[in-house]
């Protein structure tokens, strides 16, 4: 398998990120600030030679991906592997509402996230396996290429943990902020994380 340079981008902000509400598989569009973040990511990656742009099929990721794909003149490929983890019955609820309605599960999610399976949703192991299969497909299809994947906070964190050889139980050891850029190089037998949740580009003004 040839080396793959994978650039992971978390989608821009949504109104639900600000509240915050569990979004999961609910299809929420970017807010205005999220679109600005996507434009800043596009400018930050414009000088890269990008062979392909993949995205979660959810609108907030697709819209981000379409914006950053334009300078590279490539079409966005939607891939279910990079869809956010499903939070089941928690989706649409704020953190406070979850604490009130599911106190035991919320405590477990904070302390031992790998032990929680969301009613009507997924658990970390299922989401991690889905994302792992997606990365393996990219490695097979894009040897020696740089590929961008626009995904979600939980999925990006799981991909990074997998690259580092760290179990999903350590989910809170890494983070992925809206508009953040993470970069991993995959070679046969190992992976190297070159940058993690880089945010400096979001502090700059958009270029005219």
The yes-or-no answer on residue 11 being catalytic is: yes
Quick check: helix, strand or coil at residue 97? helix
Beta strand 52-55 with 181-187 is unpaired
Active-site residue (options: 11, 72, 106, 142): 11
Q: How many CB atoms lie within 10 A of CB 100?
A: 11
Q: Structure tokens of 172?
A: 């809170």
- 155 alpha-carbon distance from chain centroid: 5
Taking the alpha carbons at both ends of the chain, their separation in whole angstroms is 41
Among the listed residues 72, 106, 142, 152, the single catalytic one is 152
Cβ contact 1:188 at 8 Å: yes
Mark whether 152 is an active-site residue. yes
Catalytic residues: 11, 152
């Amino acid at each position: 398998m040839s080396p793959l340079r994978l650039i992971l981008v978390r989608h821009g902000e949504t109104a639900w990120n600000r509240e915050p509400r569990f979004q999961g598989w609910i299809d929420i569009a970017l807010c205005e600030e999220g679109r600005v973040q996507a434009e800043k990511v596009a400018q930050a990656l414009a000088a890269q030679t990008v062979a392909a742009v993949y995205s979660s099929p959810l609108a907030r990721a697709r819209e981000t991906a379409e914006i950053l794909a334009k300078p590279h003149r490539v079409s966005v490929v939607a891939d279910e592997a990079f869809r956010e983890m499903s939070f089941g019955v928690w989706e649409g609820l704020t953190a406070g509402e979850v604490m009130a309605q599911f106190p035991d599960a919320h405590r477990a999610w904070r302390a031992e996230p790998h032990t929680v399976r969301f009613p009507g949703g997924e658990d970390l192991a299922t989401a991690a396996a889905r994302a792992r299969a997606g990365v393996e497909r990219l490695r097979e299809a894009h040897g020696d290429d740089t590929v961008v994947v626009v995904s979600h906070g939980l999925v990006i964190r799981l991909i990074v943990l997998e690259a580092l050889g760290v179990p999903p139980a350590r989910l809170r050891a890494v983070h992925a902020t809206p508009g953040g850029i993470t970069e991993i190089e995959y070679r046969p037998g190992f992976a190297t994380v070159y940058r993690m949740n880089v945010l400096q580009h979001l502090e700059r003004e958009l270029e005219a």
